[in-house]
Amino acid sequence: MKRFEGKVAVVTGGGGGIGSAISRRLADEGALVVVSDGNLDAAKFVASEIEDAGGSAVAIAADISQKDTGCDLIAEAFALRSRIDILVNNAGINRRGNLLSLTEEDWHMSFAVNLDSMFHLCRAAIPHMIEAGGGAIVNTASQWGLYPAPNHIAYNTTKAAVAAFTQNLARDYAPNKIRVNAVCPGEILTPMLEAGVKRSGRTIADLDKLAPFGRIGKPEEVAALVAFLASDEAAFMCGSLVEITGAQAVA
Ligand SMILES: NC(=O)c1ccc[n+]([C@@H]2O[C@H](COP(=O)([O-])OP(=O)(O)OC[C@H]3O[C@@H](n4cnc5c(N)ncnc54)[C@H](O)[C@@H]3O)[C@@H](O)[C@H]2O)c1
């Protein structure tokens, strides 16, 4: 089943762990995927993997913490086929620390990448979706935005804001048939998580043992959920914050 045949999808952080899995999944199901990342080599690698597998993808470098770069990304993506059907706001950073140990730069950069980017990209993309009669936006929040883990006040606060942003955007643009939802992953095995685990002196095996499911999550499992939310199968889902945690939050 090719749920995204003829559609154009933009994925931010498309060169990273979860973003590359989302990009591959949407392309497998027929979308032309704009794999965007601040790291152009990573985006190019994912786009070429997709092309090698018979899919369609274009790599575009964009530091989405910058308003102009984010707007240019949407303009370049729209220029490909005069449409943007799906926007996946997935890029994020995780600056560890409590209120006193974080720097002001950590705080502001966390908001710039994790939240402000969504404001700019959605403002650029939504007029195209309104004109087309609808669209789907999937934002990556986090389990920690709903149930904060210690020592991540900046990250957790941005993710709580992403959840609120998602619900507000959904409420405002539901009449335009733009469905806005968020995924709230628990611990997923990606470079971001591996970096955090290394800093804390633990191992992935430690996390697997602590998880009620016996293991942490895989990027492909989040990608499957994002694809569902972006698809017509989720036609009445709008404003939902969908947790994908293997019951980590209820342990
Ligand atoms: N891995 C987890 O356990 C987990 C859990 C919950 C939520 N998340 C969220 O999932 C999303 C993806 O995380 P991941 O684990 O795949 O991390 P990752 O570090 O593997 O990927 C993040 C990607 O975002 C890109 N990026 C960072 N800053 C950018 C910027 N300013 N402009 C453009 N691109 C930028 C990076 O280059 C990287 O490729 C993030 O929003 C993260 O907060 C991850």
Q: Tell me if the pTM is above 0.85.
A: yes
Mean pLDDT value of segment 9-13? 99
> What residues contact 182, with CB distance under 8 A and at least 6 apart?
138, 139, 140, 141, 162, 163, 166, 240, 241, 242
Q: Which residue has the tokens 């370049």?
A: 76
Confirm or reject: Cβ of 42 under 6 Å from ligand 1.
yes
Q: Is the CB of 139 under 6 A from ligand 1?
A: no
Q: Name the residues annotated as catalytic.
A: 155
Q: What is the mean pLDDT of the chain?
A: 97
Return the pLDDT at 200. Answer: 86
Domain 8-187+219-246 = CATH 3.30.1180.10: no
Q: H or E element: which one contains 125?
A: helix 117-132
Q: How far is the CA of 162 from the centre of ligand 1 (A)?
A: 14
Q: Is residue 217 helix, strand or coil?
A: strand
Instruction: Report how far ligand 1's centroid is from the alpha carbon of 228 (Å).
Output: 20
Q: Which of 125, 8, 121 is nearest to 70 (CA)?
A: 121
Mutation to probe ligand 1, out of 192, 218, 244 (largest number of atoms < 8 A from CB): 192
What phi and psi values does residue 91 have, to the nearest 5 degrees?
A: -60, 145
Average pLDDT, stretch 161-176?
Answer: 98
pLDDT above 50 (res 251): no
> Edge-to-edge strand order for the sheet containing 178-185?
56-61, 32-37, 8-12, 86-89, 135-140, 178-185, 241-244
Return the percentage of the chain with pLDDT > 70, whole number: 99
- Positive/negative CA dihedral, 143, 183, 45, 63: negative
What does R_g of the chain's alpha carbons equal in angstroms? 17
For residue 18, the CA-to-ligand 1 centroid distance in Å is 7
